[in-house]
Amino acid sequence: MLVHQLLENSAQKYPEKEVLWDKGKWYTYKELEAQANRVSNYLIENGVRRGDRVAILMENSFEYVVAYYAILKAGAVTVELNTEILAEDFSYLLNHSEAVGLITQKKYLNSLQKIATELSFLRSVLFKEDDVVESDLPFHVTTFNELYQKFPSVNPAVRAIDIDLASIIYTSGSTGKPKGVMLTHLNILTNTRSIVEYLELSENDRIMVVLPFFYVYGKSLLNTHIAVGGSMVLYNSFTFPNKVLQAMIDTECTGFAGVPSHFSLLLNKSSVRKYTFPKLRYLTQAGGAMAPTLQKEVALVFYPAKLYIMYGATEASARLSYLDPRELPRRWGSIGKAIPNVELFVADSEGNPLPPGEVGEIVARGANIMVGYWKDEEETSRVLRNGLYFTGDLGKMDEDGFLYVVGRSKDMIKVGANRISAKEIEEKILEHEGILETAVVGVEDEVLGEAIKAFVVKKNNGVVLDEQDIISFCKQRLPTFKVPKYVEFRDTLPKTGSGKINKLELKKQMEKS
């Protein structure tokens, strides 16, 4: 079976059923399937072949879902880009993935025009809006509405097998350059089936989607609900959480998925305690650790809906473990046990299981684990060893087999849903003429799990700096989620015997202060 066949099967079984609510309008399975076929037929006629990469840079919408399944139907590979992308990353990722097509929206037109001459592989661009055809881009440019009118809704039926590549999802690398996680149809389908099983999803489920589809957690919401014939309500803004809550009630949502910051905003910046959710069956949380105090409050406020604490990675097609809601009152802070068809345990550096209570690296086995990083054998061999995926998270297991994350082994910071390279931020800070050296670390944050803190040593060159100067400097060079939340100036930074900055010592100093 292939990922897009999830849609094909549900469209055949539930053609008139509502599948997607977008900006006040419901779309049916029949409409989604027909439009995905039309876009897929366009891609094929435009030269997209099995295994080619086609990028998506778009906010959640009906057209995003059409694009996703259309690319897969053409036998191609989706390359889904973060909507907060900078022009330099935009160019790098399109070239690195060798994307021959791009499906996007008008808000990214200016960025695309700036980098157009740098793109070596791109041949065509499909825009969501109708008023961009006269854009002077050196590519074939068209729009969704144009394709809907020109191309047939017949299924292109391109032959593929489940070990073919389905998606490349870029995630921050330890070197600062994004890594392309390669997921096959089998990887994604395996994880989809496991999530459907433990959440007990059915055609009666309807999820409120505030997570972006380019994010692997968000994408899992899409595929699991399409798989069972369920439906989704799209809400791209969380600025006014009361509107999200009201939409959940109005559209009779049975589920809500979020990262810790979503739940913190709901509890502290909304009127959630004044609402009742008669249809809400469950909530899921992933994308970083959620403080036990926040878990307890969420479970209480949304009772009797069940709260599922989950753990995963892009490299695992999303999910590795979940905590059964019945265990939550006895296991605050635990990430639970492995999901169906996954083996998950704490191991030494060779992958040998460690006894309960001993700290080691969390490792996993399963058909959901990626096949590697796109064009990066070195990073692939570092995390895929001895038949195991080494997550980079340090953990321990209790006597009953429940897992707990206790830290990170790599120099990565996990801020909400984003894994961020400390090295990338350090390199940007060092571009400032007044900075001698810097060290960036993750510090505990009740809302986001971790927040970014930069330790900075100034040059003795007369440049006057304060914390806000550094933050403003970073805002001009980094996406918002990579900008340090805290800045601390030091006269010196601790060093190892070889002269390297000693971040372990920095963290020890923070704990003492």
Other beta carbons within 10 angstroms of residue 86's beta carbon come to: 14
Which CATH number is 186-408 given?
3.40.50.12780
Which CATH number is 4-19+26-160 given?
3.40.50.980
Q: Whole-model pTM?
A: 0.85
- List Cβ neighbours of 134 (8 Å cut-off, separation of 6 or more): none
pLDDT of the residue at 38: 98
- In 7-139, the DSSP E strands lie at 18-22, 25-28, 53-57, 77-80, 99-104, 124-127
pLDDT of the residue at 498: 43
What are the residue boundaries of the structural domains of the chain, listed by start?
A: 4-19+26-160, 186-408, 413-512
Residues in the chain: 513
pLDDT of the residue at 500: 63
Please, are residues 55 and 100 in contact by the beta-carbon 8 Å criterion?
A: no
Each residue's pLDDT, cut to its tens digit, for the chain (513 residues) gives 999 999 999 999 999 999 999 999 999 999 999 999 999 999 999 999 999 999 999 999 999 999 999 999 999 999 999 998 887 889 999 999 999 999 999 999 999 999 999 999 999 999 999 887 667 889 999 999 999 999 999 999 999 999 999 999 998 754 567 899 999 999 999 999 999 999 999 999 999 999 999 999 999 999 999 999 999 999 998 889 999 999 999 999 999 999 888 888 898 889 999 999 999 999 999 987 787 888 999 999 999 999 999 999 999 999 999 999 999 999 998 999 999 999 999 999 899 999 999 989 999 999 999 999 999 999 999 999 999 999 998 899 999 999 998 877 667 788 887 878 787 898 889 889 888 889 999 998 888 888 999 999 998 877 889 999 999 999 999 999 999 999 999 998 887 644 567 787 888 788 777
Q: Map tokens 């109005």 to a residue.
A: 250
What are the C-alpha distances in Å from 353 to residues 361, 388, 403? Answer: 10, 11, 13
pLDDT of the residue at 496: 60
Q: Map tokens 């609402």 to a residue.
A: 275
Which CATH number is 413-512 given?
3.30.300.30
Half-sphere exposure of 111 (CA within 13 A, CB side): 18
**What is the gyration radius of the CA atoms in the chain, in angstroms?**
23
Of 507, 509, 484, the C-alpha closest to 432 is 484
Q: What is the DSSP string of 341-408?
A: TEEEEEE-TT-PBPPTT--EEEEEEETTS-SEETT-HHHHHHHEETTEEEEEEEEEE-TTS-EEEEEE
- Give 116's DSSP letter: G
User: Do 4-19+26-160 and 413-512 share a fold?
Assistant: no
The torsion defined by the Cα of 474, 450, 369 and 341, in degrees rounded to 10, comes to -160
Separation between Cα atoms, residue 118 and residue 98, nearest integer Å: 12
Task: List the beta bridge partners of residue 306.
Answer: 282
Of 258, 259, 233, the C-alpha closest to 246 is 233
| Cα-Cα-Cα-Cα dihedral sign, residues 457, 461, 462, 468 | negative
pLDDT of the residue at 289: 77
Q: Map tokens 């149809």 to a residue.
A: 185
pLDDT of the residue at 87: 79
